[in-house]
Amino acid sequence: MITFEQVSVRYDDTDRPALRDVDLTVEEGELCLVVGHTGVGKSTLLGTVNGLVPHFTGGTLYGRVTVDGRDTAHHPPRELADVVGVVGQDPLDGFVTDTVEEELAYTMEQLAIAPHVMRKRVEETLDLLGLADLRRRALYELSGGQQQRVAIGAVLTAHPRVLVLDEPTSALDPSAAEEVLAAVTRLVHDLGVTVLMAEHRLERVVQYADRVLHLPGDGRVVDGPPAEIFRTSSIAPPIVDLGRAAGWSPLPLSIRDARRAAAPLRGRLAGQPPPPAAAPRGAGRAAEALLKARGVTVSYQGVPAVREVGLDLRGGQVTALMGRNGSGKSSLLWALQGSGPRTSGTVEVAAAADGKAPGDPHTMAPALARRAVGLVPQTPSDLLYLESVQQELAQADRESAAAGPGAGTARALLDRLAPGIDGATHPRDLSEGQKLALVLAIQLSAAPRVLLLDEPTRGLDYRAKTELIRIVGTLAGEGRAVVIATHDVEFVARAADRVVVMAQGDVVADGPTRDVIVASPVFAPQTAKILAPLPFLTVDQVTTALDRLATGPAGPGSGADA
């Protein structure tokens, strides 16, 4: 279906090619997963399939890419629209019309398909993706999962043979992501559509993949069956990490297979007290509440987004704020910081040793509120407006100095968070993880004791997430209270001490990570699902426990795959 022959792609302003000597064939009806760290050329690889690379992005393509017998060198994306359908990360970016039905018809209109055929296909697609109830709704009113399904439907109506999905679930909460992935697998199984999909959160998709294309980072593409590729790849979901640690062979990729393979492991770990999931916080673990919120309500035009939420944030504690899209997480964080609206309720920041007075951040001057509570918004780049990292950092120092003596310069903070960022770089050229670190450094330069992060894990790969976990651990270790709004269960399991779950503006669960997360089948991380009823949450816990067993008084274990 798709053939790459000796394909290399080089962008004009870079010294090394984004893709190098790629030779592969994707057969009809395969679900191909494209994995790799950020910036290794995943999007480039996907772009070559419908000719966006190089027709739209520029750069030079050597070799030959053929899709359904058509050479992309001679066919620009629009001429391939009937063969390849492309769905991007943020569905709202790609919508051309106003309503679901019109959006579904748009591609067909461009392809000059007869009106009666369009009618029929729109109805079929509405049913196939479960969108029939939404047909007349405006696109911007839909939830993220619904929008993404509409975006997939909108390319499907043209009956493409190939579907290219570039991180389709990265903006979605777990259940919306399930919804989209279920739709995709249904397409593969029922219609035989060939799917090429890039995805960061592998734990969601790895079980559906027929084949994995791994981009190790030097421009090459390694392809093979998932169990084989993940045996050695540098990037892997927790289930694979657990399988590797336990030495299972063949590597299980679904929870079902892993649970079957895990019976002996569960037997060995039974009775072992699980080591703490998050890194120990040391001396910073103070019981003192740094921020007290009581009855916080936020409404927009009479519709409440947050309803009478009470929350105590303690120093040295990492709190994860979870809940589906639109459950009021962001509104709560903004209200706690004081910059967002608050309809009623009180927020009080505790007095600090260095003379910061207790008070309500909402009534403080922005410069003071910033010293009390720091917030990193969902799109960190909203805060960046200067030409270089150096200028941003200098500006941050000036802003913080205006509010009193800071806790060191922003540059020092950045070097601690993410060493080795060149000061002359333009902030837009940084990777998502680096941008996050830069904004974090800017906000930390005011030395707030409470730090709120609004969905920082969006768009981060495994390596960047591990980095973030380390950073968050350090911040908590210094005695700060950290709140992270996120959808990422695996991240929460590794980073958070406490989980608060919100639904429709209410707090529905609040407690230690282990209790909240394991109790829910949707929220449980893979390790917990595999080892239930044992209270293990992360692979690190398991390996630590196994090490302890191996060196413990019981003597060396009888091998991991006993």
**Footprint of other proteins on 351-380 (CB under 8 A):** 365-367, 369-370, 374-375, 377, 379
Distance between CA 152 and CA 103 in Å, rounded? 10
Query: Three-class SS of residue 528?
Result: helix
| Contact region with other proteins (CB under 8 A), list: 9-17, 332-340, 473-481, 528-536 | 332-340
Residue 429 touches other proteins, criterion: CB under 8 A: no
Nearest distance from C-beta of residue 342 to other proteins, angstroms:
13
Residues with Cβ < 8 Å from 24, sequence gap 6 or more?
3, 4, 213, 221, 223
Torsion angles phi and psi, residue 348, rounded to 5 = -130, 130
Residue 46 touches other proteins, criterion: CB under 8 A: no
Q: Tell which positions 178-237 bind other proteins, by CB under 8 A.
A: none
CB 432 within 8 A of CB 460: yes
Q: Tell which positions 57-96 bind other proteins, by CB under 8 A.
A: 76-82, 84-86, 88, 90, 92-96
Distance between CA 472 and CA 481 in Å, rounded? 10
Structure tokens at 540: 């690190």
Among 48, 50, 457, 541, binds other proteins (CB under 8 A): 50
CB 277 within 8 A of CB 541: yes
Among 60, 110, 249, 344, binds other proteins (CB under 8 A): 110
> Which of residues 44 and 337 has its CB atom nearest to other proteins in the complex?
337
Nearest distance from C-beta of residue 179 to other proteins, angstroms:
20
Nearest distance from C-beta of residue 301 to other proteins, angstroms:
8
Return the bridge partners of 99, or none: 138
Nearest distance from C-beta of residue 46 to other proteins, angstroms:
11
Residue 132 touches other proteins, criterion: CB under 8 A: yes
Among 191, 234, 310, 385, binds other proteins (CB under 8 A): 385
Nearest distance from C-beta of residue 322 to other proteins, angstroms:
23
Candidates 162, 260, 206, 151; CA nearest to 33 is 206
> Which of residues 68 and 109 has its CB atom nearest to other proteins in the complex?
109
> Which of residues 381 and 520 has its CB atom nearest to other proteins in the complex?
381
Nearest distance from C-beta of residue 281 to other proteins, angstroms:
26
Q: Tell which positions 254-313 bind other proteins, by CB under 8 A.
A: 302-304
Angstrom CA distances, 445 to 371, 402, 475, 543, stand at 9, 12, 13, 37
Residue 442 touches other proteins, criterion: CB under 8 A: yes
Helix axes 410-417 and 432-444, enclosed angle (nearest 10): 140
> Which of residues 182 and 401 has its CB atom nearest to other proteins in the complex?
401
Nearest distance from C-beta of residue 154 to other proteins, angstroms:
7
Nearest distance from C-beta of residue 45 to other proteins, angstroms:
15
CB 4 within 8 A of CB 63: yes
Helices and strands of the chain, counted as H and E runs: 22, 19
What is the β-pairing status of strands 162-166 and 84-87? parallel
| Chain centroid offset of residue 356 CA | 36
> Which of residues 398 and 548 has its CB atom nearest to other proteins in the complex?
398
Among 63, 68, 73, 135, binds other proteins (CB under 8 A): 135
Helix residue spans in 68-143 (DSSP H): 91-94, 100-110, 115-128
> Which of residues 97 and 544 has its CB atom nearest to other proteins in the complex?
97
Residue 137 touches other proteins, criterion: CB under 8 A: yes
Nearest distance from C-beta of residue 51 to other proteins, angstroms:
8
| Contact region with other proteins (CB under 8 A), list: 198-206, 381-389, 412-420, 534-542 | 381-389
Backbone conformation region of residue 191, classed left if phi is above 0, alpha if psi is from -120 to 50, else beta: alpha
> Which of residues 132 and 503 has its CB atom nearest to other proteins in the complex?
132
Nearest distance from C-beta of residue 88 to other proteins, angstroms:
6
Among 1, 2, 52, 475, binds other proteins (CB under 8 A): 52
Query: Three-class SS of residue 142?
Result: coil
> Which of residues 157 and 319 has its CB atom nearest to other proteins in the complex?
157
Distance between CA 467 and CA 463 in Å, rounded? 6
> Which of residues 94 and 224 has its CB atom nearest to other proteins in the complex?
94
Q: For the chain, how many residues are written?
A: 562
Distance between CA 477 and CA 454 in Å, rounded? 20
Among 68, 70, 106, 285, binds other proteins (CB under 8 A): 106
CB 211 within 8 A of CB 223: yes
Residue 111 touches other proteins, criterion: CB under 8 A: yes
Positive or negative, the CA dihedral 104, 108, 113, 114 is positive
Residue 130 touches other proteins, criterion: CB under 8 A: no
Positive or negative, the CA dihedral 325, 327, 331, 335 is negative
CB 433 within 8 A of CB 467: yes
Nearest distance from C-beta of residue 381 to other proteins, angstroms:
6
Return the bridge partners of 262, or none: none
Q: Binding residues for other proteins, how many (CB under 8 A)?
A: 78
Give me the 476-515 binding string for other proteins, x by CB under 8 A, dash otherwise. ----------------------------------------
CB 33 within 8 A of CB 209: yes
